[in-house]
Chain A
Amino acid sequence: MANDPLLSRIDELSGAFTAGQIDRRRFLKGLIGLGLSLPAIGVIVAACSSAATPSPATLAPATMAPATLAPATAVPATASAAATLAAATFDPTALIAAAKGEGSLYQTGIPPEWVNYQAIFDLWKQNYGITINGTSTEGEYSSGQELDSIKNTGKPDVGDVGISFAVQAKTDGLSAPYKNSYWADIPDTAKDADGYWACNYWGAQAFAVNTDAVKIPINDWKDLLDPSLKNAVGIDGDPTKANDSFFAVWSAAIANGGGIDNIQPGIDFFNQLQQSGNLTAARASDANILSGEVKIAIKWDYLGLAVRDKAAGAPNITVTIPSSGSLASPYADIIAAKAPHPNAAKLWQELIYSDAAQLLFLKGYAHPIRFDALTAAGKIPADLAAKLPSADLYKKVTIVTDIAKITAAKTILGTGWKIVVNS
């Protein structure tokens, strides 16, 4: 084997790299120069990296590779290597010590007032005493701004992004793979197979019903067509613009013979709702729900639950998940590829998927990704469960993470919605 000139050259390069004689860039360039395929390079790098001793300031080696290599092709080998490494060697005490050694965590796009994140920040502080930076400067960033910051400033360690941006971050090589120790609890559709992102919580389309004004039971989409509901049903904005109402229309497809692959029956249902005079042009905003202008709001469950609490009985509002089911849109978290504090970033992942933090999300009415596991283990407090739609109804909810399907549905809505509005 050693007689093979290619292999001996690889050996030479690997030796030089592990001994620290050449840096990663020169090592990769050398391998690419030998005409190796990218996956093969990934395997070699991963193998050599576990041999090399990383300085605490650099990332765990395997996670570094995708940023330099073309990610799409390099992913399988490196990522699975990293994942195996993480799963096999995960030890909270070591990670905590390493994170404390790094001294701080820099977050982007994680607003303290959003889905109870402040309580999770407090939990982090209390558990580890590590400072979180970035909250005041970048906490309110949109997903797009988060990726820009990761790309251009190199400061952020972790970010909380919309699902399409998580996918984009992987494609653009902006995120690093890490599979937290609760990985198995996360449904396959809600995580990247290579560990580049995972969804930590989601919201599902729900009905927020003003029970003072609506006297008939509203359990499913067909109930909305009742003749007594003139001008009563509202959605949260123009579905061609707002994600919330786009998902409302899409969710209606489920009960009407369509679903995640076919939004058209949802559009038809809304057309029917419009023709019946039940659909109001008033936006299902908090103000319009509280004033009774919108009597049945179709919107995210967490928004509905929040306005129910805000109303505090004036009017009485019940939030329910349609019994035919509805769609959910998740948020994902990513670790920056060039995170200055990689261990703190991993520790953050461990924290937000832990029972304690997942229950804090639920308290903020975001639906934690490990909800089913927590329910099965009986870990959801009865008083909290009583405030939510039943866990059984949530079983009918489908989480949408397939970007291609979202794009396809939006294209059909673009032309289909005109008929609802203009005819």
Chain B
Amino acid sequence: MRSPTDGPLAGAPIATRRRGGRAAFALIPFAILVGAFLLVPTVALVWGSFHDSNTGAFTLSNYSYLGDPLDLVPFRNSLELSLAATILGSVVGLLIAQAIVSSRRPIVQEIATTFSSVAANFAGVPLAFAFGATLGLNGLITVALKNNGIDINEGGFRLRSLMGLIVVYAYWEIPLMVLVMLPPLQAMKPSWREAAEILGASRWQYLRSVAIPILMTPFISSLLLLYANAFGAYATAYGLTTGFVSLVPIEISNLTNGDVSHNLGVADALAIGLAVIMAICIGSRAILERRSTRWLAR
């Protein structure tokens, strides 16, 4: 059983034990992994984004998309979609996770965890198909509702649009949130609450001074995970909308795989734009996290 003082929940810095120089060797596999899958691609992306993919000459023109409102639409779509899917996923996911913890029935927890791990990984073309078959123009649910006098398409719902994608993304974002928030919620000890109550704290005071500070770091980490997950998703959106809702990953794939608008330099520049957004997310998480640890240390 994890105690709240170890792992990512730790408030105080973990005491570092001095080790021999040999321990550094243990880092080699990790260093290779980071080098091969993070550093090298990043350097290649930066380099490629400043060079013309045909002539190899230095250029800034790959970044001209930043000045074209039409070219920024994929970024706006991706940001909106990821933000909406993250909010929907985190709020609903957190409530479900808390409900599971509160139920205190091992069987419920097990079923919920198993289902969540399956659903959180159910994405891509099969998911697009599943939604087409249920909420599509002639989907099972669409038709059933229509037969009962409710036409969701007349009501403005379009599965194969940005709005539809938010619903579809929530399908895996909610269980993902459940999965990542269950462990910290389970780690909250009832004795803390009892202690707070004995000291005369109200329910709100307990939440504000005890529960929220402890849960803040895992919660923000989860938000980041959900956001990154939505931002990078490609196959589901493409399977559902054939590229009619333009998102950054779809745009990049058009530039790398499409034979019509093939331009690796611009693809690199778009990927850098995506990386900058992710860096802002991670950076703000670091700042928030520092605040929450300071809270906790108080």
Contacts and interface: CB of A to CB of B under 8 A. Distances in A.
A238 B247 CA distance: 13
Given A293-B132, A293-B138, A246 B243 contact: no
A414 B261 contact: yes
Contacts of A419: 70
Interface in A248-284: 274, 279-283
5 contacts: A238-B243, A241-B257, A281-B245, A282-B240, A421-B245
Contacts of A291: 132-133, 136, 138
B265 interface: no
Interface in B228-246: 238, 240-246
Interface residues of B, number: 28
B161 A281 contact: yes
Among A231, A235, A288, A422, find the residue whose CB has the most chain B CB atoms closer than 10 A: A422
B153 interface: yes
B70 A280 contact: no
A421 B136 CA distance: 20
Given A241-B254, A246-B260, A281-B244, 6 more contacts: A238-B238, A240-B261, A281-B245, A411-B260, A421-B246, A422-B74
Contact of A282 (B73, B160, B246, B259): B160
B137 A292 contact: yes
B37 to A, nearest CB: 27
Contact of A293 (B136, B241, B245): B136
Nearest to B240: A281
Contacts of A418: 70-71, 246
A423 B259 CA distance: 23
A422 B73 contact: yes
A269 to B, nearest CB: 16
B260 A413 contact: yes
B260 A240 contact: yes
Given A240-B254, A292-B137, A282 B70 contact: no
A287 to B, nearest CB: 8
Interface string B158-171: 10110000000000
B138 A292 contact: yes
B244 A421 contact: yes
Interface of B: 70-71, 73-74, 129, 132-133, 136-138, 153, 158, 160-161, 238, 240-246, 254, 257-261
Given A246-B260, A422-B73, A423-B70, A238 B242 contact: yes
A30 interface: no
Interface string A397-423: 000000000000011011101110111
B61 to A, nearest CB: 14
A239 interface: yes
Could you tell me the dominant secondary structure of chain B's interface residues?
loop
A112 interface: no
Contacts of B244: 274, 279, 281, 421
Contacts of A411: 260
Contacts of B70: 418-419, 422-423
Contacts of B129: 287
A134 interface: no
Contacts of A282: 132, 136-137, 160, 240, 242
A283 B128 CA distance: 11
A283 B138 contact: no
Contacts of A292: 137-138
A237 interface: yes
A280 B258 contact: no
Interface string A289-304: 0011100000000000
Interface of A: 231, 235, 237-241, 246, 274, 279-283, 287-288, 291-293, 410-411, 413-415, 417-419, 421-423
Contacts of B153: 231
A266 to B, nearest CB: 13
B246 A422 contact: yes
A293 B137 contact: yes
B241 to A, nearest CB: 4
B243 A240 contact: yes
Contacts of B246: 418, 421-422
A411 B136 CA distance: 33
Contacts of B241: 281
Lowest 5 CB-CB distances: which A-B pairs, in order? A238-B243, A414-B261, A281-B244, A281-B160, A422-B73
Nearest to B133: A291
A47 to B, nearest CB: 43
Contacts of B158: 231
A238 B258 contact: yes
Given A281-B244, A423-B70, A239 B136 contact: no
A125 B16 CA distance: 78
Contacts of A293: 132, 136-138
Among A231, A288, A418, find the residue whose CB has the most chain B CB atoms closer than 10 A: A418
Nearest to A420: B244
Contacts of A422: 70, 73-74, 246
A280 B159 CA distance: 10
Contact of A241 (B73, B160, B245, B260): B260
Contacts of A417: 260
A292 B143 CA distance: 12
B238 to A, nearest CB: 8
Given A231-B158, A282-B160, A421-B243, A241 B74 contact: no
Contacts of A241: 243, 254, 257-260
Contacts of A414: 260-261
A274 B138 CA distance: 20
A77 B130 CA distance: 61
Among B71, B158, B238, B242, find the residue whose CB has the most chain A CB atoms closer than 10 A: B242
Contacts of B259: 241, 410
A237 B242 contact: yes
A218 B161 CA distance: 26
A422 B246 CA distance: 7
A238 B160 contact: no
A241 B254 CA distance: 7
B35 to A, nearest CB: 33
Contacts of A238: 238, 242-243, 254, 258
B71 to A, nearest CB: 7
Contacts of A274: 244
